[in-house]
Structure 1
Amino acid sequence: MTTATKSCGVCELRHITKPSIVWCTECDDGLCTECKEHHSLAMSSRSHSVIAFTDYRKLPADKLKFTQSCTKHDKKYQIYCQKHEIPCCSKCIMESHKGCRDIVELDDAIHNVKTSNAMCEIEETLVEVAKNLQKIRKLQQEKLTTFKESRQEIEKEIKKTRIKINNHLDKLQKDLMKQLYAIEEKENSKICQLLSSLEKKEKEIAECQRNIIDIKQHATDLQVFLSMKKIEEDVYTKNKFLQSLEEGKNFKQTSLSYKINTSIQNIMSNISFGEVQIEA
């Protein structure tokens, strides 16, 4: 097939460049003004159909690739083999289609092809396909909108859940901190009471020690002897108090400790907000 350029095909053979104004569908070539006139007068081409070159260029590129002549034998197509559904030249018939019975003239095969039932069916099918494509495209666009709206709703729900969890964790923390301070205050109160008792006992012992010193310095032996019983009782009482402290929990070193709830640990390791899925 001659290349669909703007130059006249006949003139190009004469090494002359002139723009094509028409396209001969029979010759499959472009023609300038002068060649068009000669083409319309010549016996061999006066019956050829021509179209404006601008209209020819409007044809789809893949349709322009179809040649109207046999590329193998360089002859015009004249016959159409209905069995193989291909156009043939005279040599094609002799070489490849001798046994074919469904052979008709190409002119008969293409007669009224533009208004044929086959063309109408093609056009109707294309209309139906176009409608279905539009329907599918609309559906997909609606799905995009639905996905966006669903995503926004899920996002709100996730944030709402996060706020609920935060509020619950804040309450748990507040309650635990309250318990922590309460326990500390309680233990501090016990320690302070014990310190007060110890301080009192220390003063009593110090006073007892001073009394003994005074008695030994200023009292007679009889007075010392008589007061020793009372002093022994006081010392015994204070020593018994000390022993009770040693036997109790007061001398054991203690501190505050904290054990995390396993459910909280699961939140940090195993529990997720949920799972996003596609629902049909």
Structure 2
Amino acid sequence: MFVHLVIASYYRTNLLIHNLRRVVISDMASGTTTDVNCGPCLYNNITVPGNVWCLSCEEGLCQSCADSHQGIKATRNHKVIPVEKCHHVASIGHLMSQTCKNHNKALDLYCPSHDAPVCSLCISENHRECKDIVSLDDVAKNVVSSSSFCNLEQNVGNLFKNLSQLKAERERNSKQLQSDKIAKNTSVKEMRRKLNELLDTLEEKLLQELSSKTGTCETEINNSLFEIELKTKAVYAIQSNISQLKEMATDVQFFLAIREIDKSVTTETNWLHAIANQRNMEELTLDLKTKPMEDLLETKSLGSVKIDRSRNTVPINHLGMKEAQIPLEAMRNKIDRIRLQQKIYIPLPITNMLVENLFGCMICSDGNIIFADGPSRTIKVFNKKGNHIKDVRVPGTPSDITEISQGRIAVTY
């Protein structure tokens, strides 16, 4: 009898796979569903098209077998669907499989401790210590109206909404980047225009200064030339007097005259020595000091472009999934398994007053632990290992504390 049951179970499994494969292949080829044979009839070597598909038995049923199927107490509550929807079952069959992947047995139990559907062999191998194993049928009862399913549907809706918002935000950011590009292009061109105006102004100013300094130098040189011209004429006169004295003066007259002329020559020579060392006789050159062209060319750009990043403001909404709808008896003893375990020890300098008046306590996002010490009007800060870091004086008696952001807290009095 056992051998016959195994062979029958094997045959029904192959029949299910065969029928689903025919449905999927037919659906992919033509877009429509062809016939699905009735499983019970096919088991008796009779080929009859199926009208409905039983999701629990996972096989097709003709109208006669469907009526009998509904009349039997064990299968009366099985859910059936029109055979035209079998391709939907094939597409999501991997989600609805009631067969254990490890043991190829029916998943008919549920372990709340591991939040997993299990078969009988799973329990003997991995769940011997689990005390609250319940029937999978009891867990799944009214699952469509359970809070976990409502949360799942809401989370799917939230996921679509979040993706839509994120897509809209990305598209808005892309358009904003294009607008920023146009604005920055305009800004660069405006900067170039202003630079051109500035360079033109500086060029004109420098050329004017060059012309002015050149005029000053020319005036100084012309004044020097005028004085030199006057002295040159005086020297010509002396030279002319000497020539005339040679022709017309006696020796005595010539002797007396050259003594006076020598005084005049000495005077002019002294003037020449004096003026030669004066500032207005210095060599004048124009020294144009500008930034070397190499320095200007080494400036490879007029500025730089940096990408600023900020966190997107799209809220990601997700409801935490509650446990499956497990009977209250299976959940009632879970609180008994909670055990407190000491993680750190903080050796406070405890006094009676400190014990009675130690108010707020908080664990910061960086792991630091903060106490509000009322009597001493201080905030005591410890690291996550329990080591004291510092005390912060506050103006009043602190009552409670909360973290605003990393490194910033608010204190109530």
Using structure 1 for the length normalisation, give the TM-score.
Answer: 0.62
Cα separation, 2, equivalents of 1:117 and 1:244: 114
Q: Is 1:22 aligned to residue 52 of structure 2? A: no
Instruction: Report the alpha carbon displacement of residue 155 of structure 1 after superposing the two structures with TM.
Output: 5.0
Instruction: Report the alpha carbon displacement of residue 83 of structure 1 after superposing the two structures with TM.
Output: 4.8
Q: 1:212 to 1:82 in 2, by over 3 A?
A: closer
Aligned partner of 1:194 among 224, 236, 242: 224
Q: 1:172 to 1:89 in 2, by over 3 A?
A: closer
Q: Is 1:58 aligned to residue 91 of structure 2? A: yes
Q: Is 1:87 aligned to residue 88 of structure 2? A: no
Aligned match of 1:131: 161
Cα separation, 1, equivalents of 2:106 and 2:221: 119
Moved more, 90-99 or 121-130: 90-99
Q: 1:92 to 1:258 in 2, by over 3 A?
A: closer
Q: Is the 8 A contact 1:20 1:53 kept in 2?
A: no
Moved more, 86-95 or 188-197: 86-95
Q: 1:145 to 1:95 in 2, by over 3 A?
A: closer
Aligned partner of 1:142 among 148, 165, 172: 172
- Matched position secondary structure for 2:110: strand
Aligned match of 1:37: 37
Query: 5 Å matches for 1:162-173?
Result: 162-173=192-203
Pick the structure with greater CA Rg. Answer: 1
Greater fraction helix: 1
Cα separation, 2, equivalents of 1:69 and 1:111: 19
Instruction: Report the alpha carbon displacement of residue 131 of structure 1 after superposing the two structures with TM.
Output: 1.5
Aligned partner of 2:98 among 68, 75, 88: 68
Q: 1:158 to 1:107 in 2, by over 3 A?
A: same
Cα separation, 1, equivalents of 2:218 and 2:125: 116
Code of the residue aligned with 2:154 in structure 1: it is E
Q: 1:186 to 1:244 in 2, by over 3 A?
A: same
Q: 1:276 to 1:88 in 2, by over 3 A?
A: closer
Aligned match of 2:268: 238
Instruction: Report the alpha carbon displacement of residue 185 of structure 1 after superposing the two structures with TM.
Output: 1.7
Q: Is the 8 A contact 1:79 1:103 kept in 2?
A: yes
Summarize deviations over 1:240-263 as a string: whole Å, max 9, x none. 4323313422444443345679xx
Cα separation, 2, equivalents of 1:89 and 1:42: 29
Cα separation, 2, equivalents of 1:152 and 1:107: 64
Cα separation, 1, equivalents of 2:284 and 2:42: 123
Aligned match of 2:388: none
Cα separation, 2, equivalents of 1:227 and 1:216: 11
Instruction: Report the alpha carbon displacement of residue 127 of structure 1 after superposing the two structures with TM.
Output: 0.7
Instruction: Report the alpha carbon displacement of residue 182 of structure 1 after superposing the two structures with TM.
Output: 1.2
Cα separation, 1, equivalents of 2:265 and 2:213: 35
Q: Is 1:160 aligned to residue 190 of structure 2? A: yes
Q: Is the 8 A contact 1:70 1:89 kept in 2?
A: yes
Cα separation, 2, equivalents of 1:19 and 1:131: 34
Q: Is the 8 A contact 1:158 1:273 kept in 2?
A: no
Identity, % of aligned positions: 23
- Matched position secondary structure for 1:134: helix
Q: 1:196 to 1:76 in 2, by over 3 A?
A: same
Q: 1:176 to 1:192 in 2, by over 3 A?
A: same
Using structure 2 for the length normalisation, give the TM-score.
Answer: 0.45
Q: 1:94 to 1:224 in 2, by over 3 A?
A: closer
Q: 1:75 to 1:250 in 2, by over 3 A?
A: closer
Cα separation, 2, equivalents of 1:67 and 1:279: 46
Cα separation, 2, equivalents of 1:92 and 1:273: 68
Structure having greater relative contact order (Cα 8 Å, sep ≥ 6): 2
The answer for unaligned runs of 5 or more in structure 1 is: 1-8, 24-32
